[in-house]
Chain A
Amino acid sequence: MKPWLKSMKKTTIRRAFLAYFVFMFAWLVVPPMFEVINRVEPWVVGMPFVVFMIAAISFLVCLGLVLLFEIERMRGELQ
């Protein structure tokens, strides 16, 4: 584990990830941001753009949760 990651405060890490999750969900629930992605073109991997973005953001949030868990595990913060 990187020293800077080990030395960071527990709350700092959790808040940083929370900011990441909020930013990701903002693309889907803040109307002006959602309107940017709410369109059919361009098609990506066989999906309309908005459907692809829903899938991609969902994947990135899942990835974030796994990463947060692993960081907490490596720092020995799980009971």
Chain B
Amino acid sequence: MTSWWPLIITLAYFVIVFFVVRKWAALKHDSMEDFAVAGRQFKWYMIMFTVLATWFVGAIYTAFFSYGVLYGTLAQYATIYTLAGLVVYYYISPRIWIWGKVHNLYNMPDYIELRYSDKWLGVVFALAGLLIGAPWQVIAFKTFGYAFNEVTYNTLPVWTVGPFTISVGILLIGAFVLWYVVSGGMKSVVITDFVQGVISVVIVLVGVIFVAQKLFGGFGEIFREVERVAPELLVVDGSTYWAGIILASAIGAYCWLEIFNRIFIAESVRELKLVARGAPIIATTVSFLLFALAMGGIYYKGGITDTAGAESAFLVFFSDAGGPMLLAFAAIVIVAAEMSSVDSQLTALGVVIGKNVVEKIRNRAYSAKALLGISRWSIIVWSVVAMFLAMGDLPLLITIAIKTYELLTSLFPAIIIGAFWKRANRISVWAGIVVGFTVSIWMSYTPDFIAGLPGYLGGWPAGMYGFAANLIVFVILSYAFGKQPHVDALFAEVDTYEDANTIRDRAAANPATSMAE
């Protein structure tokens, strides 16, 4: 092995996370509320770094970074959709949190069932969320193997059993994640994500600036050199495609089970909103600088022009700039990003399978203990399956993942618009998602048709056409059938809760007014 440092530092990192979980995360839960939403008790800084850690998946440093290397400015779409997602968060999170608090909601399907008073709609959203997330969990386990191989310079023994290549990295990190997710639930997830979020942000910010300076002479030099070598990368090729991937990603952001779940872990609306003071600027800065650095890849050491090379460019840059030590930190960032995404996904998956699928389909109320058992076993079984799938050769995995992602946009009207618009009703949602899914799938298999559409109608991702079709049907049927009978009372709960809980702040902000009252 070239150097033991990357492996030692990576293992040390896992030891730190292990002790953090042991010390601060309660590893035994008897209540579903603790397991699913960690007792709704977290402050803004915990939520902020947890949201950031969940948001920045490992692929940011591999696949997304490769966009920066190969397509230049196009990669900055991730910066914009991240910010757009946080703006959406500021607007939707208070009322979703209030409904969660009042009705003891744990996840998005709970909210859908409450909002539209339709059990089966909740089940459909639960199944859709599970299906859309599944390929990404397999990719996450694959990334663990990839990162572990990098820090051991591909010297780990490999066994081939049938179609599977046994990866020590996948097994070790997978088992570690499984341990704290199954035993600690959401509390251990939030605490590990907080630690990993802080470490990742610090390493990436300091590391990216250091690497840009050391290897390229600064960000200004990168842009100047790219102008000389590949000036077309300084602008975006295809404004509709660019707009489409930003919109599809931003629209889909809160349709992920694990991202939506983050809203429910906060102690109060105040804590949720405090996130908006720090998260946008940190997320934007990290993302912007990261993809600006990636642009240097197009001329680095003669130029990286193949996808495999571009995907490992982040690790190569860090290794070349800081040797084995910085390589280890870069690998930690990738592993931490993936761990903090997959742990949230698995916890949400377990809760949703237990509470929103099994309990609803079997039409019986389980005890908290039974529900916890179902949730935990669902997580274990699916994780083992996902680990084995990750060790197989799955050339279609990314294609499946992208195609399922296209479906996310069709969930948006029901989740987000329905939170503000009383007229949105169960019929408009059912019809909208059927039409939206159909159009998304059909358009994803007809790229020539999309390319042939005139003017600005052509060139959008398939999911955006599905979203547009869904939205038209959704709006027409919402007007046609009108609001459901329970909706006025549901929306009134938000105003009542806000009025009941802002009196103290109003008194503090306007003492004269409150005294006069």
Contact = CB atoms under 8 A, between A and B. Distances in A.
Interface string B256-284: 00000000000011100110110011001
A79 B227 contact: no
Interface of B: 73, 76, 79-80, 83-84, 86-87, 90-91, 219-220, 223-224, 227, 231, 234-236, 239-240, 242-243, 246-247, 268-270, 273-274, 276-277, 280-281, 284, 288, 292, 456, 497-498, 501-502, 505-510
Nearest to A39: B235
B235 A48 contact: yes
Contacts of B270: 78-79
A66 interface: yes
Interface in A22-54: 25, 28-32, 34-35, 38-40, 43, 46-48, 50-51, 54
Interface string A1-32: 10000100000001000100100010011111
Contacts of B243: 28-31, 34
Contact of A58 (B83, B240, B273, B508): B83
Contacts of B91: 14, 18
A66 B219 contact: no
Nearest to A65: B276
Which bracket fits the contact residues of A? 35 or more
Given A79-B268, A79-B270, A32 B456 contact: yes
| 3 interchain residue pairs of minimum CB distance | A76-B506, A46-B220, A76-B509
A29 B270 CA distance: 31
Interface of A: 1, 6, 14, 18, 21, 25, 28-32, 34-35, 38-40, 43, 46-48, 50-51, 54-55, 58-59, 61-62, 65-66, 68-69, 72-79
B510 A76 contact: yes
Nearest to A35: B239
Contact of B273 (A6, A31, A69): A69
Contact of A78 (B234, B236, B269): B269
Given A6-B510, A29-B243, A75-B506, 15 more contacts: A28-B246, A29-B242, A30-B243, A34-B236, A48-B223, A58-B79, A62-B83, A65-B277, A65-B280, A68-B90, A69-B90, A76-B508, A77-B505, A78-B502, A79-B502
